[in-house]
Chain A
Amino acid sequence: MNKIIVCIKGVPIPGTIKVDSETHTLKRESLELILNPNDRVAIEMAIRLKEIYDFKVIVISMGPPNVIPILKHAYALGCDEMILLSDKIFAGSDTLATSLVLAKAIQTLSPYSLILTGLKSIDGETAQVPPEIGALLEIPSITNVKKLFKQNGFWIIIRENEYGEEELELSEPFVASINSHTFDYLRPPSLKRLLEVKKIEPVIFTANELGLSPEQVGLKGSPTQVINIFEKKIEAKGTIMEGSPQELAEKLIRILKTKDLI
């Protein structure tokens, strides 16, 4: 059966990361990770394609073991297999090192038809991993895809950019990152699958098993490095006005007048 691989990421709950003002390191207030919301859309796309074309959907994530509940959630939504790429030496990987780990794992799954990803993760917001995976696997990468379907043995894709929408034709395999506003409806997990997934665990691959050395991944394998991280302190500088909304509206209008807006 043909395969679709969906790459997903566990991200910290927004607002739970702070900077330690003394050590200039990140402090995580909670270790809990949630599914990157943009990846939810890629999962939905994969499952819809599975329903039409009978694919097997493999969901794959690089991260610490606390990503496992997220992989299981993806299973409950309709993915068929779960793979976790987890190793202490992966920590600190930048997008290139992350893409290398994902590409190595994806190679072991060859042949496959499609690799789908979210447009970007909400923590890093780089959107770099999908094209990097495509380049490393030497297959095409297309970003911001809104529609995908098969026609005469080819895939037809609609993607969006600043200029408009383009319709493309290409043959598999390729990587596509999915536009985050593609669907109006995202299915809930199925009860049956929620029960099923209690009894199964994702397959875990370590660096060694993927044939990756410590020089290729993690901090060592990452060409980009954070050299400093700091919190920007702000001090109040302006006037604070309080009162009834009526009074405040009057004051605001007066200010707008001095700025020649009215």
Chain B
Amino acid sequence: MVLEEVKLENLEKGHILAFGECYKKMIHPSSFEILTPLKEISESLRKKLILICLTASLEETENFEDLKKCLADEIWFILNPELKDFKDDLWARVLAEIVKNSRPYGFFFPATIIGTSLAPRLAGILKLGLCAHVNSLELKDNQIIMARPTYGENVIAKLISKSVPVMATISLGTFPINYKNKEPLIKKVIFPETFSWESKLKIKRFFPTKKKITKLSAAKVIVAGGRGLKNKENFQKLFELAKLLNAEVGATRPVCYEGWAEEERMIGVSGVTVRPKVYIGFGISGALQHTVGMENSEFIIAVNTDKEAPLVKIANVAFITDASILLDILIEKLKTMK
């Protein structure tokens, strides 16, 4: 594919940039998610939305077709063999050059592990403010206002950044992926000969994950458990129930930290956002940090001994009882029905 080439120093200035995570032959879907709120913001500000992708070569990207449908107005590729592996220092220097030369109004990253390693390194180099795990973006008098749950149980903080570009990482799964008909303009950014592609990191080996990635964010039915299940053994019952209902298992942060469930199963600000048809929470109090990740579920069922628990209040139906006893009976009954 022949791309329009543009020299680093000639990049268009003043737009909104989004980081497109191209790694291991895939464009991470979260990069498309963050374009959804940014599209609205950039249109209101009459600025272009530009996806920035760093990779070794274009040929290998498996979901390249998705790029052609994405919401960005333009995609800028920075291509170099040295970008095959994620090297924090080099990638941040490349992005710093992009920022210095294109003087964007905002630069946003998906809160993936790479995104949350790269964005603060870039912010440090350029001495910029950076908001973390934002789950809502709005414009007020042309200023970008970001929100995220914080501290206590049900507290939301609204944040601004006084430095330009405004920078933030955006929570995974928070926004749906939307596509458009018009293909974005794809350009290749040419760096000057003098730019050094060296890194202090040498990636020697890569061991791909053997674990199958949980498909929580796409699940139609989720059975989730919290501290009210009391122990790992009780939590395990959720997997049995999940099998019977064709569901995925989700969890709260404390139980992930306890090791009852893998961290990929965490629902909430620090984990994933889900939107199933049915969500059942067993022994989950419903702290805001958790509920921001599931409140858009179509139908919410809570099982809790405490009538006053916040999840009981937001639920469509709440069952006031011991979660693990109910689980036992439920599994028993469902098995005999099959």
Residues of A at the B interface (CB closer than 8 Å) are 12, 15, 17-19, 26, 37, 94-96, 99, 123-136, 139-144, 156, 160-171, 174, 180-181, 222-246, 248-253, 255-256, 259, 261-262
Known: A26-B151, A222-B129, A249-B333. A235 touches B156 (CB 8 A): no
Q: Are B246 and A225 in contact (CB under 8 A)?
A: no
A-B pairs with CB below 8 Å: how many? 255
9-residue interface stretch from B72-80, B98-106, B176-184, B323-331: B323-331
CB distance from B98 to the nearest CB of A (A): 16
14 more CB-based (< 8 A) A-B contacts, given A144-B117, A223-B128, A240-B320: A15-B153, A124-B132, A125-B132, A131-B124, A132-B121, A135-B121, A136-B124, A140-B200, A170-B202, A232-B288, A234-B313, A236-B312, A241-B317, A241-B318
Residues on A with C-beta less than 8 A from B337 are 253, 262
Residues of B at the A interface (CB closer than 8 Å) are 23-24, 28, 85-86, 88-89, 92, 112-114, 116-125, 127-133, 145, 150-163, 200-209, 213, 221, 245-247, 257, 259, 263, 269-270, 277-278, 288, 299-301, 307, 310, 312-322, 325-326, 329-330, 333-334, 337
Residues on A with C-beta less than 8 A from B320 are 240-242
Known: A163-B24, A248-B321, A259-B299. A135 touches B92 (CB 8 A): yes
- Report the bound CA distance from A142 to B199 in whole Å: 12
User: Which secondary structure dominates chain B's binding surface?
Assistant: mixed
Closest to B322 in A: A245
Closest to B288 in A: A232
Q: Are A226 and B158 in contact (CB under 8 A)?
A: yes
User: Which secondary structure dominates chain A's binding surface?
Assistant: mixed
- Complex partner residue of B159 from A127, A227, A242, CB under 8 angstroms: A227
- Report the bound CA distance from A142 to B118 in whole Å: 10
Residues on A with C-beta less than 8 A from B316 are 237-239
Residues on A with C-beta less than 8 A from B245 are 256, 261-262
Q: Are A125 and B270 in contact (CB under 8 A)?
A: yes
Q: Are A164 and B203 in contact (CB under 8 A)?
A: no
Known: A142-B88, A166-B85, A230-B155. A239 touches B310 (CB 8 A): no
Q: Are A245 and B321 in contact (CB under 8 A)?
A: yes
Closest to A255 in B: B317
- Report the bound CA distance from A232 to B288 in whole Å: 8
Closest to B147 in A: A228
- Complex partner residue of A127 from B116, B326, B330, B334, CB under 8 angstroms: B116
Q: Are B318 and A245 in contact (CB under 8 A)?
A: no
